[in-house]
Structure 1
Amino acid sequence: MAHFGYFLSCEEHPPAALIEQARMAEQAGFDALWISDHYHPWNDRQGQSPFVWSVIGALSQAVSLPVETAVTCPLVRTHPAVIAQAAATSAVQLGGRFRLGVGTGEALNEHILGTGWPEAPVRLAMLEEALQIIRNLFTGEQISHHGRYYTVENARLYTLPDEPVPIDVSAFGPQAAESAARIGDGLITMMPDRALVERFRRGGGGAKPVYGGFKACWGPDRQEAVRTAHRLWANERLPGELGQILPTPRHFEQASELVTPEQVASAVPCGDDPDAHVEAMHAFVDAGFDTVYVQQIGEDQQGFFDFYRTKVLPRLRG
């Protein structure tokens, strides 16, 4: 049976609002939480970007739901040895209810230190080496590592959970899915792509869990909801690798001028028709996903959670 989670958007909301949304998600009956990890929002209209590890610490004291980063990039902006410590501490705070979601990142967040932005195949190789370091540190042993991309000397984690933190790998294409099957404990992807899930399972993923998510914009006026979704998240409809290579929110704003409200409306469930929201969830379940996360776009979070508590989650579980 599939589970249903809520996706906390660090790009849209300050820390206190994220904590309150997590409480509302638990009260509404959601099973788990995702939280994004960004240095910048995608555009200035979104307007926020708190440090995810601080927010996770607060979540551990506010809710009893499992939490996962969706996703952290342990490649450039933050060294994998530091990510290992952050993840281990988060798992301790959450009593083992933490999963580390990782991916190869976006220039938007990772270029800020002035280093070059590697091509996708190089980032995949960096991710594999990074996960080797993180898993070695999860053993609690002192490690040194002199690899192609990273150096670690005499590092040891002293604050560790009882079990190593599971690491799920984000993938959007066939090569990345096969890599995720080989090096990950699960798969994260943002489209209900049955072929990608099957490739992950055939490539070694087997029965490992698959997680997916989408955005919605609940509201009593569908056209207003479409306008809100287009204003805040038109960047979601940019094609190809633009999401990985554009370096600043301003560049995303410029590119998003090519995205129409109609394109957003065709991809994002907008309005208060339960069928549209249930259908979006079912698309992932039918494609073989184990857990599906939804993010409400905009300020009316209470209305969204009331709607899902009364009109959507009961149908999904019925």
Structure 2
Amino acid sequence: MTDYGIHCSHEQIGPADLLTAVIAAERAGFDAAMCSDHFSPWSERQGQSAFAWSWLGAALQATNLSFGVVNAPGQRYHPAIIAQAISTLATMYPGRFWAALGTGEYSNEHITGEPWPRKDVRSARLLASVDVIRGLLEGKEVSREGLVAVDRAKLWTRPQVQPALIGAAVSVETAKWCATWADGLVTVNAPEQRLREMIAAYRDNGGRGPVCLQVHLSWAGTQEEAEAIAYDQWRTNVFPPPICWDLEMAEHFDVVGESVTLEQVKKVVNVSADLDQHIEWLRGYADLGFDRIYLHHVGQDLTAFIETFGAKVLPSLRS
């Protein structure tokens, strides 16, 4: 059976309010949670970007949910530090924490002052980082040279239950590549055929573990409200790679988003005031074979969404 979780967007909601929301989500019947890990939002209107790892400790303590985080080791984060962070949470909350690892976005990574590498170099750097993280979690002393430099690192606190290192992908090619190293796959909603191809590319090439989907959606009491929320908060998030990878600042996203239409937003966000329509969309994703589906309401107030989907949508999906 598919698990239905909530996605917690640090770029849109401050950490205290986000903690309140995820506690409410557990009480409303959500099975799990995941969160982003950004230094910068995609728009000045979104206006937040708290440190995910501090928040995760609080959220894991405040709930009994499993949690995941989408992280980009290699530039902003040294992989040995990420291994230590993963190990600490996995030790404190056995079996409840996983990390999805990706190649990152320049809007978060430029703060180091280092050049932004080509995509192929970033992919190689991610593989090198995964190798470091796995080695440290296994108890090895790790030294490396090259794209990732490590000098005699060793984790002194390690979990008894190894946390999953999941691959983050938005293309069929990346999903196939993740099958070579990841313990699962996470992606975002896209046309049905592309999602089928991504799952097949991962599974057919030996991909193990769960396949997970983050679904961007906008719901409100009226269609006009749902559309207004989606357009206000997510019109800077419609751009495919490499644009979304390579822009530097929140204000740059706002500039390129000025001419985006509502119809473009609806291609990447499921927008509807009709709960039956959301149920139909979510059932369709489950039928594709996703093991976990994380619902991301793109609005900044999650209260009505959590209460309504907990009372009316989740029970229908599970019946």
Following TM superposition, by how much is the alpha carbon of 1:44 offset from its aligned partner in structure 2, in angstroms? Answer: 0.7
Aligned residues: 315
CA drift of 1:128 comes to 0.7
Matched, 1:149 2:147: yes
1:298 correspondence with 2:302: no
Instruction: State which of 201, 204, 207 in structure 1 corresponds to 2:206.
Output: 204
Is the deviation greater in 256-265 or in 129-138?
Answer: 256-265
Q: Is the 8 A contact 1:269 1:276 kept in 2?
A: no
Q: Distance in 1 between matches of 2:116 and 2:31?
A: 36
1:140 match: secondary structure: coil
Equivalent residue runs for 1:86-97 within 5 Å? 86-97=85-96
Q: Which moved more, 1:230-239 or 1:60-69?
A: 230-239
> 1:275/1:266 Cα in 2 relative to 1: closer, same or farther (>3 Å)?
farther
Q: After alignment, is 276-285 or 187-196 more displaced?
A: 276-285
- Asked if 1 retains the 8 angstrom alpha-carbon contact of 2:215 and 2:294, the reply is yes
Identify the residue that residue 65 of structure 1 maps to in structure 2: 65
- For 1:232-283, what per-residue CA distance to the aligned partner results, in whole angstroms no more than 9, with x for missing partners? 1112212342110111101100111121123223542334311221122123
Of the structure 1 ranges 188-197 and 43-52, higher mean CA displacement relative to structure 2 is found in 188-197
The aligned counterpart of 2:6 is 6
In the other structure, the counterpart of 2:25 is 25
Bigger drift between 292-301 and 5-14 goes to 292-301
**Separation in 2, partners of 1:282, 1:81:** 39
CA-to-aligned-CA distance 1:144-201 (integer Å, 9 cap, x gap): 222x211111211112111222100111223211221001000111135111110111
Aligned to 1:15: 15
Distance, in Å, in 2 between the alignment partners of 1:171 and 1:57 is 26
Q: In structure 2, what is the Cα distance between the partners aligned to 1:200 and 1:266?
A: 24
Q: Give the distance between the partners of 2:104 and 2:5, measured in 1 at CA.
A: 22
User: How far is the alpha carbon of 1:219 from its aligned partner?
Assistant: 1.1
Aligned-partner SS, 1:158: coil
Once residues 143 and 312 of structure 1 are traced to their aligned partners in structure 2, the CA distance between those partners, rounded to angstroms, is: 47
What SS does the corresponding residue of 1:215 show, helix, strand or coil? strand
Determine the C-alpha separation between the residues in 2 that align with 1:237 and 1:197. 22
Name the CA distance, whole Å, in 2 between partners of 1:265 and 1:84. 37
Match of 1:99 in 2: 98
- Which residue of the partner structure matches residue 285 of structure 2? 284
Question: 2: distance between equivalents of 1:164 and 1:314?
Answer: 32
1:1-54 per-position Cα deviation (integer Å, ceiling 9, x unaligned): 111110000001111111111101101111110110000011110000000100
Assess, with a 3 A threshold, how the Cα gap between structure 1 residues 262 and 178 changes in structure 2: closer, same or farther: closer
SS in 2 for 1:67: strand
Structure-to-structure mapping, 1:210-225, within 5 angstroms: 210-225=211-226
Q: TM-score, normalised by structure 1?
A: 0.95
* Aligned counterpart in structure 2 of residue 178 of structure 1, from 176, 179, 184: 176
**1:109-188 pair list within 5 angstroms:** 109-146=108-145, 148-188=146-186
- Partner amino acid, structure 1, of 2:298: I
For residues 96-146 of structure 1, the C-alpha deviation after alignment (integer angstroms, 9 at most, x for no partner) is 310011111100101111111111111111111100000000012322222
Change in 2 beyond 3 A, CA 1:263/1:182: same
SS in 2 for 1:22: helix
Counterparts of 1:144 and 1:161 in 2: how far apart (Å)?
Answer: 21
Superposition map of 1:65-84 within 5 A: 65-69=65-69, 71-84=70-83
Are 2:58 and 1:49 aligned? no
Is the 8 Å Cα contact of residues 226 and 273 (structure 2) preserved in structure 1?
Answer: no
Partner-residue secondary structure (3-state), 1:12: coil
Give the letter for the 1:300 counterpart. D
Contact 1:219–1:270 (CA<8 Å) still a contact in 2? no
**In 2: Cα distance, 1:276 partner to 1:120 partner:** 37
CA RMSD of aligned residues (A): 1.4
Listed one character per residue, the Cα deviations across residues 188-237 of structure 1 (whole Å, up to 9, x for unaligned) are: 111351111101111111x4210111122221121122111111111221
AA of the residue aligned to 1:187:
L
CA distance in 2 between counterparts of 1:133 and 1:114 reads: 23
- Say which SS state the counterpart of residue 204 (structure 1) adopts: coil
